[in-house]
Every structure is written in C-alpha cells, then in structure tokens.
Amino acid sequence: MSFYIYRHNRERILKGIIIFLFIILSVRFFQLQVLSGSIYEAWSDRNRVRQVSVAANRGLIFDRYNRILVDNRPSYSLFVIPYELNKHPEMVERISSITGLSDQDIKERILQAGTGLFTPLRIMRDVDFETLSKIEESRLDLPGVFYQHEPVRTYPTDIRASHLIGYLSEINESELNVLNGNGYKMGDMIGKTGVEKWYDSILRGERGYQYHEVDVHGREVGNFNGKRDIQPISGTNIRLGLDMDLQRLAEDLLNDQKGAIIVLDPQNGEILTMVSKPDYSLEPFARGLSKKAWDNLSSDPDKPLLNRTIQAQLPPGSTYKLVTAASALEAGLIDTQKELFCGGTFWLGTRMFPCWRPEGHGSINILDAIRESCNVFFYQLGLQVGVDRWVRLSSYLGFGRITQIDLDGENEGLLPNRNYLDEKYGRGLWGKGMVVNLSIGQGDLLVTPMQMAILATIIGMEGKYPTPHVVQAIQDRSGNWNKEPIQMNHVNGISKPVFQQLKEGMWQVVNQLGGTGRAAWSSDIEICGKTGTAQNPHGEDHAWFIGFAPLDNPAIVIALVVENGGSGGGVAAPIAGEIIRRFFRKSVIL
C-alpha cells in the first residue's frame, strides 16, 4: 500500500514538473512568436533579405528650345557587403585583381562610409563589361559582392557649359551633416557646382528599394518576384534660358583664352550664354573622377574650376567710366556741352597720369570722352565727383554686392569706400591719386563680369533690370512647363535723362568714327557698347566689352572679358559684335 502511494505521488510530481515545463515553454513560445515575433522576423530578414537602394534618374536639363543638354545613361556600379569582407578578408585581394582598385582603396572606402555591416557599399561606379564578366565568373567565390544598374549623367551635345551646368560627385561627411534628414545618405551623388547644385533637391528624385533573398553565404537566391520592391521616382526636368547655338559660338570665339562671356535677355533676366574659360569636361565626373585627376584639375594654375562669370574679381578699366560719368551728370557737375581739355597727360602735384593717346584728345565733351575713352577727361571728372559720391552711385548700380543669380559661389567684388581706404592705407594717407585711378576703373575697385552685365542692362533699360537667372522653367508631373517668375528691380538716384545720355555715348562708341568699339559695329543693328583695357599688375592688360542692342528697347546684353587679352577695342569688341550679330540673324530666322 505504501509503495502504491509512493509511486502515485511520484507520478503526480512528474506530471506537475512536465506541466510546469510545458507552461514555461508555451510562455516562451508566445513571447518569441507573438510578443517579439516582429523583432526576430526582422533579424531573420536581415540574414536572408538584402535591401538594395535603387538610384532615381536625375531630372533632364534642356536648353531654351527644348534640346537636351544633360541626359542619363545606364551603367553598373559594384557593391560589397562589409560583413562578408570582414568574414572573408582574402576577398579584398581578389576584388582588387578584378577591378584594378588597390587593396588600400577598398579598405578606405569601407572605413569612410561608416555604414552598417550589412548595408551594401558602393566601391566602383560605371563598371565596364569586362570587369562585370569577371565578377560574374567568380560569383561563387565572392559572397556579398554584386553589381547593380545605376544611371549616370551624359552630355549629348558638343558644347561644354561646364561652369553653368556643374558637376556631380559623392556627398561628403560635412555635406551630409548639413543635409541630414533630407533623404541624403553616404554614397549619394549630389550636385557640387552650377545648376546641378543649386537645383539638386528637385533634380535628384527619390530613391527606390529592391529586396533580394540571399543564402547563408550572402549569395542571391531570389528577389521575391519584385513584390516588396519600391520603385524610384525620377527627378524633375528643368529648362534653361541657355541658347545652345549661341553658347557654342561664344565658346569657339573665346577658344583657349582665359576669360568670361555673359549674354542675357534684359527683358526677363534669362541667361542666354555663359562661358568661362578655361573649362573642363563633365564626363569624367559622371564616371567618378580619380583622386589624381581631381588633384591635377584643382591645382592647375589656370584655375579651370573657377567660374569666371560670377567669381572672377577684376578691375573693370575704362568700362567703369560710365559710372563716373553718371555720377557727374546726376550731380550736375557737367553736361553734354561742357568741355575739358586733354593734352595727353594729367599732372597731380608731381605725379603724372597718362592718357592712352599720347598726343591727347584736345577739348572734348562727355560724349566725346565716352566714345574715345579719354583718360584725362575722366581723371578731372573723378576729382570733381569725389569718393563718397562715386561710391554711392556705384552702390545704386549694384556694385559691392552679389546679383543674386541662381548659382552658388557668386562673389560680390570690391567697392572701396572711405572706410575701406582708411583701413587699408591709413587715415589721411591716401588722397586724390586714389580717386584719379578709381575714376577710370583701376585701383582697388574689383568687379565680376556678371555685375558688368547688370550695369549694361540698367543703362540699356534706363534704370530697371531683372534679377538674372539661368533656369527658365520647371516641368511638373503632368509635363507642363512652369516658367520662373521675373523679378524686376528699379535703380534709385539716377534720372532717366542721365541714362539716355549714357546710351548716346555708348551708341557713339560703336557707331561713330573714332569710337573705341568700332570692331563691334553692324550695318543693320544699333549696337551700343563700352570698351575697357584694364591694367593688370600680374601680366598683360585685360580686354573688356559691355554693351546691348538695339539702342531702344534692347533685346540682348553682353559683357565679356579676355584676361591678359590686351586692348578691349581690338580683342573684346570683335567677339561681342560677332555674338550680337549672330543673335539677331537667328532671331530673324526663327
């Protein structure tokens, strides 16, 4: 009886233990499969599902006649999973032998990326077919290594426009910190300069994602039939005000010289042509520029990366005599009848200031002085105007500040006021000699070609001017082009009669005998302009020309400078005349 009771109790205890263990196991199963199921499912997916980012096509860039300037082409990029390289370090050498990348390059790219161990990392762009074939042949020996289609920029035209369009490159850490939260991540290509940078947020589109099933060795075994994939959204197309034909002509005319050419529509501010020389090809940037190529480009003494149209800060020379003339006319210090004498030299104490014509111009009025660009006339006029009045009117005309064009990196030039001169030279240690130099666009005065284009616009439009812009229209998702609004500005402090007198002087520069801009003359177009030959302490003079056409209600404005080119009348004026004549011939045809 006691044995029976003992065995019965033991069975009850065992059953109790089994039931207790079953309850614990059930609770644990419930915890794992229900409460924490999503967590473990995510861990499982991380091991068997690879999320691959799919780059969106960037928006296309068109010229004003809807001709494609910048397109996309298909290419392949090579990716690795850092975890697999850590697990199989011998793969680094194998990848290096196939791609030509050094072991050190591959390791540095992984370290610099700072991404997760299971996040695909791009190590090579625009991979050629031969390299892809070798990767495919070695696929079983390269777990976690794969290639994927990515679009890259292509440039189907024969124009460069590299500073206007701009180049793409991988985002760096400092840029990512600034743009964090806006959908950017390491490895993304972003615009670094030009239109590509200013409009990057709308050009870039939205990335998509593909989900691939992989085995324990990191090899792809399926893609879930695309059911999980999220398709990328292409970027927005934009249309520039650029005229491809006019751009080509300007690039050819400037050729291998250093300088800048800007052509704009004074009625709406659209940039028709923007040339900065020397320039560079955008294609290598699209493929992924090597460090050596970048170092060569960035250290080139001719500074091909500098956008001279908005970043070069140069003395304007005689083109700035228009500002001195406006100052004197507005102040009533002179009129078109009053004459000053030029004997070829001007003495200020014991210091002699020459005119470009040694024999002098004789007694001339202000229109004669603008037409023949008489230095001595403007030396005298500048002293009457004085620094403060000259600076004030220069400021009205936009000097000393940016033009607010839709491009990054614009410089504001240098408008030396009294405080600046006191600080640089010492109070009372500069005097009338400085004023004499400033009156003809020399000395400490520095301008950008874009500022000079705005000056020509203001004079041609008699006191009003649009804010310059390179993008004409943006395309919406329905395919409609929405034009950018025109922002028209008005200059205060200068009367309409003064502008009309300046226009008359500029007309004479090109259209009358003795005018320094006769090389820009056209038999059927009233071209108005002003030449400049700016002294350069570092070499040959800079050749300038600014102008507009026709005289009334101008349709085109041009500003150009040929660095170290010599005479504005002999070098810059012929280029300007050819561009303006081509513009009007094309307008008649269209």
- Tell me the pLDDT band of 588, cut-offs 50, 70 and 90: low
What rounded mean pLDDT belongs to the chain?
Answer: 91
Phi-psi region of 530 (alpha: psi -120 to 50; beta: other; left: phi over 0): beta
The Cα 410–Cα 164 span in angstroms is: 12
Whether residue 502 lies inside any domain: the answer is: yes
Inside any domain, residue 296: no
Report the alpha-carbon distance of residue 318 to residue 339 in Å, rounded.
19
pLDDT at 74: 93
Q: Do 29 and 108 belong to one domain?
A: no
Print the domain residue range for 569: 244-278+312-589
566 CB-near residues (< 8 Å, 6+ apart): 533, 540, 541, 543
> At 200, which CATH number?
3.90.1310.10
Are the C-beta atoms of 228 and 48 separated by less than 8 Å? no
Query: Which H helix or E strand runs over 222?
Result: strand 220-222
Number of Cβ within a 10 Å radius of residue 536: 15
CA-CA distance, 566 to 579, in Å (whole number)? 20
Do 349 and 224 fall within a single domain? no
Q: Which tokens hold the place of 190?
A: 């972003």
Say yes or no: 511 and 393 in one domain.
Answer: yes
Q: What is the pLDDT of residue 28?
A: 73
Q: Is the residue at 291 inside a domain? A: no
Is residue 293 a part of any domain in this protein?
no
Say if CB 184 and CB 171 are below 8 A apart: yes
What's the pLDDT score for residue 590? 55
* Same domain membership, residue 469 and residue 345: yes
Angle (nearest 5°) at CA 51 between 46 and 56: 165
Q: Name the one residue in this structure whose structure tokens are 């001709």.
A: 67
Check whether residue 515 and residue 430 sit in a common domain. yes
User: Is residue 508 pLDDT above 70, yes or no?
Assistant: yes
pLDDT number for residue 52: 75
Element holding 51 (H helix, E strand): strand 49-54
Q: Which amino acid is at 437?
A: N
Residue 304: count of CB within 10 angstroms of its CB: 19
Joined tokens for residue 247 = 């751009």
Q: What is the pLDDT of residue 3?
A: 54
Do 168 and 253 have their domain in common? no
- What average pLDDT score do residues 496-521 get? 98
Say yes or no: 270 and 355 in one domain.
yes
Please determine, for residue 416, whether its predicted confidence score (pLDDT) is greater than 90. yes
Contacts of 29 (CB under 8 A, 6+ apart): none
Q: Are 413 and 399 in contact (CB under 8 A)?
A: yes
Q: Give pTM, 2 decimals.
A: 0.89
Rounded CA gap, 520 and 262, in Å? Answer: 16
**262 in the same domain as 182:** no
Mean pLDDT of 293-320: 97
Q: Domain total for the chain? A: 3
Residue burial 355-367, b: 16+ Cβ < 10 Å; e: rest? bbeeebbeebbbb
Look at residue 183 and tell me whether its pLDDT is greater than 90.
no
> In the listed set 184, 218, 236, which residue is the last one of a domain according to the structure?
236
Residue 40 lies in a domain: no
Q: Is the pLDDT of residue 4 over 60?
A: no
Note whether residue 290 is domain-resident: no
CA-angle at 576, arms to 572 and 582, nearest 5° = 150
Claim to verify: residue 415 and residue 462 sit in the same structural domain = yes
CA distances from 283 to 147, 156, 237 (A): 21, 10, 20
Query: Does 252 share its domain with 221?
Result: no
Structure tokens at 16: 């109790």
The mean pLDDT of 126-149, rounded to a whole number, is: 89
Q: Kindly report the CATH number assigned to the domain that includes residue 273.
A: 3.40.710.10
| 169: helix, strand or coil | strand
| Cα–Cα dist 120/79, whole Å | 6
pLDDT per residue over 452-505, tens digit each?
999 999 999 999 999 999 999 999 999 999 999 999 999 999 999 999 999 999
Q: Which residue has the tokens 């210091």?
A: 351
513 occurs within a structural domain: yes
> Residue 270's closest CA among 297, 246, 296, 241?
241
Cβ distance 481 to 473 under 8 Å?
Answer: yes
Q: Cβ(318)–Cβ(530) under 8 Å?
A: yes
Last residue of a domain, one of 205, 236, 267: 236
> Residue 456 has which token pair?
């020509």
Evaluate if residue 234 carries a pLDDT over 90.
Answer: yes
User: Over the stretch 237-292, which tens digit does the pLDDT of each residue have?
Assistant: 999 999 999 999 999 999 999 999 999 999 999 999 999 999 999 999 988 888 89
| pLDDT tens digits along 370-387 | 999 999 999 999 999 999
More confident call, 173 vs 341: 341
pLDDT tier at 12 (50, 70, 90 boundaries)?
A: confident
Could you read off the pLDDT of 531-559 as tens digits, one per residue? 999 998 888 999 999 999 999 999 999 99
Listed residues 236, 267, 298: the one ending a domain = 236
pLDDT tens for 20-44 read 787 887 777 777 666 666 655 554 5
Quick one: 72 and 103 in the same domain?
A: yes
Distance CA 289, CA 541 (A): 35
Query: Is residue 160 located within the same domain as residue 230?
Result: yes
> For residue 42, is it within any domain?
no
Residue 419 has pLDDT above 80, yes or no: yes
Q: What is the dihedral of CA 456, 457, 461, 462, to 10 degrees?
A: -50
